[in-house]
Amino acid sequence: MKIDEKYDFVICGGGATGLLLSNSLISDSFFDNKKVLVIEKEIKIENDRTFSFWDNQKNILDKIVFKSWGKAEFKDMEFSSSFSLKPYKYKMVRSDKFYSFMKRKIEKASNFTYLNANVENIIKESGINYIETDKGNFQCSIAFSSIYNPEEFEFKKYPLIKQHFLGWTIETHEDFFDEDKIRFMDFSIDQHQEIRFMYVLPFSKKSALFEYTFFGGEVMKNSDYENEIKKYLDREGIKKYKIAEIEKGVIPMTCYPFFNANTDSFIRIGTSGGWTKPSTGYTIKNSIEKIDMILKFIKEDKPLSKLRFKNRFWYYDVLFLDVLVDSKGKGSRVFSDLFRNNDPLLLFKFLGEKTNIFEEIRIFVSVNIMTFVKSLIKRVKSVYLKDFLRN
């Protein structure tokens, strides 16, 4: 194989996680003398998605946050709760601003190269990687890959739920929205024996994103999502509006241990690395924290194969996904129990993996415990028995 160029690091995939990793390398003077290649097949300039997260600390994304909110709301058929998010803020970043911001930083970094190309193969050998693309072949000491191909994996032992959605950003003629309060989950819609909810982010009194979201089931035709959004808007009394933007996506929610493929010279990142929070589908905040862990290992010359991304929250997520799969379309009751019986801020803390064991026990006993016990019994009969007993 003819090698066109040698690098210290190659980042395969210039989506959210690949660009966040690039930013962290650029921002740390320790890596100033490292030669880095970023490979991305698409020319990313449009607002093809939005990145949302909650936080009570500053990070690099604060510079490009499009909108933040201090209040939230949860609804189901019989229950509604509005609450302050303090000390958190719920934040949203538009992908077009994110891409342009990160790419400008890469362009200014003399040790970085950005290449629009398709990665065709990654050959992993001891201490070295060969990256084959349609625009050349490259060698590196450490390769990071966010390329996700579900056909590579056998999910039989691990639940896989597709979170799929379509959203409209609309503009109205009249004031309709509380611009400081998100509708985090609204289950007061027909569930159709599945897990469906509406997610609403108001940008102003006259503009908001309405996202019709599924946990599970197959991806539908665009018109099916859009008809449900129309019905919801009509129910909300919103008759006259203009559709300003449309976004659609599919997020895999799974506890598959993608990280088992990691070596001292090859690391899966982002969704491909199992960094998407299995129980919620949120990725970007997890990525920031895990990138910090990886770079700390590199700087301290620790073997990357020793990185452990599996903690007790991973086991909670396995069980939670089992419950959703076993619920036969009644999983919305689990979310309702959680928000009815707990301080919402405790739930956000738990979903952010910041709770202690006593807080977690309080959360577990607040739901229909037999639902979880049944799924737990099924799970402990599987390959996880030893791991559950050990933890």
Contact 185/197 with Cβ under 8 angstroms?
yes
Give residue 388's pLDDT.
47
β partners of residue 9: 36, 142
Structure tokens that stand for 210 in this block:
């309405």
DSSP string covering 247-299, please?
A: EEEEEEEE---GGGG--SSEEE-GGGGT-S-TTT---HHHHHHHHHHHHHHHH
Q: How high is the mean pLDDT in each 10-residue block of the chain (391 residues)?
A: 94 96 97 97 85 91 95 95 96 94 96 96 92 96 93 81 95 96 96 92 98 92 97 96 95 90 93 91 92 96 88 90 80 91 96 95 88 74 54 50
Q: How far apart are CA 21 and CA 102, in angstroms?
A: 10
Q: What type of residue sits at position 338?
A: L
Q: Position of tokens 């897990």? A: 195
Please report the pLDDT score of residue 89 as a whole number: 96
Cis peptide upstream of residue 159 (ω within 30 degrees of 0): no
Closest CA to 276 of 163, 156, 363: 163
Query: The tokens 């946990």 sit on which residue?
Result: 215
- Return the percent helix, strand and coil in the chain, to nearest 5: 35, 30, 35
pLDDT in the model for residue 323: 86
Predicted model pTM = 0.90
pLDDT at 385: 52
Q: Are strands 80-84 and 71-75 parallel, antiparallel or unpaired?
A: antiparallel
- Look at residues 347, 354, 365 and name the one whose alpha carbon lies nearest to residue 83: 347
φ, ψ dihedrals at 41, nearest 5°: -75, -30
Q: What is the DSSP letter of 189?
A: S
Q: What are phi and psi of 65, to 5 degrees?
A: -60, 125
